[in-house]
Chains A and B, each alone.
Chain A
Amino acid sequence: MRLSHIAKALDLELRCGDLEAEASGGYVSDLMSDVIAHAEAGDLWLTVQIHANIVAVAAMKELSGIVLTGGREPEAETLRKAEAKKITVLASRLPAFELAGRLYQLGLRGRERHAGGI
């Protein structure tokens, strides 16, 4: 599902990058080590973390984009790095639970993972 479609349907505001990528799944987590271990390429990542390391994680895992939830705004350094790495950063006023529910209604799916804990 194209990010432009998702952003329009759910009122996501673009903070960096473009809306051209296709999200193939979704992942919600605020622990970066958990995202490194369990997110998959193409996932749209919902988080409250605004530190610049989220950009490195998204680049490393080839995620389709990052959505900062609950009205969080990226740190200046995060935006600088996101621009350099061409990572799409979106912002939503909705809390993660609400936003994930609406993404699901829209047809985006996560994957059932049996990771066996951390």
Chain B
Amino acid sequence: MPGAFRVDLHVHTCLSPCADNGMVPTRIVARALEAGLAAIGICDHNSAGNVAAVREAAGKDLRVLGGMEITTSEEAHILALFDGQEALERMERLVQDGLAGLNDPEAWGDQILVDSRDQPVGIEERLLAGASALSAEATVREIQALGGLAIASHVDRPAFSLAQQLGFIPPELPLDAVELSFHFRGEKAPFRAFGFPLVSFSDAHFPEEIGRSRTLFRVEEPSVAALRLALRAGGGEW
């Protein structure tokens, strides 16, 4: 018997240079539960380094899907979410192999690795704000090959969206969905015309933003595998 699950699959942590340093596991989990979410996706820029910590902090109360917000070589953002840790780490290696440069915290912000009790355990030195060497097409192909969920981020926004960077979304790109941002207020029709299911998530960079935009799915459980099937069958509601 399927249940109705509210999910927010686009949440950053203090590992993302642009996110608030208060985006630590216990606060993320507390805020997600407060917002009535059944699952969240942890998607830091080009890294999955804080996924395990948030998952551990969540315990059984909240499902935490592991992911990344990948910057493709065209500087388009694509969310990649996985059920398994191994697939996530393989994707992370592919992304980080082509990531150039070192972070300058003064220019971009801090990149803090934490444990499940919010304690800093390291600083990520690579420039996570940079772009990977994978094209959008290669990125989506690899996500799919590893059994993940591929969602084009905030396609209604003027920066880092697949639609803006490439002019339009290639219809043959095997995306599972496209995300409209929290800011979106207009007509959905032009975005439906891309031919992919629409979802909306928070893209939270601050704790209070978690859940400000979420999508409801009627599935057995809010896993990547079940959400993929639900998207193919017509998508979620928001």
Residues on A facing B (Cβ under 8 Å): 31-33, 36-37, 49-51, 53, 56, 59-60, 85, 118
Chain A positions within 8 Å of B160 at CB level: 51
List, in ascending order, chain A residues with CB within 8 A of B74's CB: 31
Q: List 23 A-B contacts (CB under 8 A).
A: A31-B75, A33-B73, A33-B100, A33-B130, A33-B131, A36-B101, A36-B127, A36-B130, A37-B100, A50-B159, A51-B158, A51-B160, A53-B129, A53-B159, A56-B104, A56-B108, A56-B129, A59-B107, A60-B104, A60-B108, A85-B107, A118-B73, A118-B133
Once the chains are docked, how many angstroms separate the CA of A85 from the CA of B108?
A: 11
A33 to B131, CA, bound (A): 6
B residues with a Cβ closer than 8 A to A are 71, 73-75, 100-101, 104, 106-108, 127, 129-131, 133, 158-160
Q: A51-B159, A60-B108 are in contact. List 6 more A-B contacts (CB 8 A).
A: A31-B75, A33-B100, A36-B127, A36-B130, A50-B159, A56-B104
Which one of A56, A59, A85 has the greatest number of beta carbons of chain B within 10 Å?
A: A56
Question: In the complex, which residues of chain A have a beta carbon less than 8 angstroms from the beta carbon of B73?
Answer: 33, 118
- CB-defined contacts of A32 to chain B, threshold 8 Å: 75, 131
Contacts of B159 in A (CB 8 A): 49-51, 53
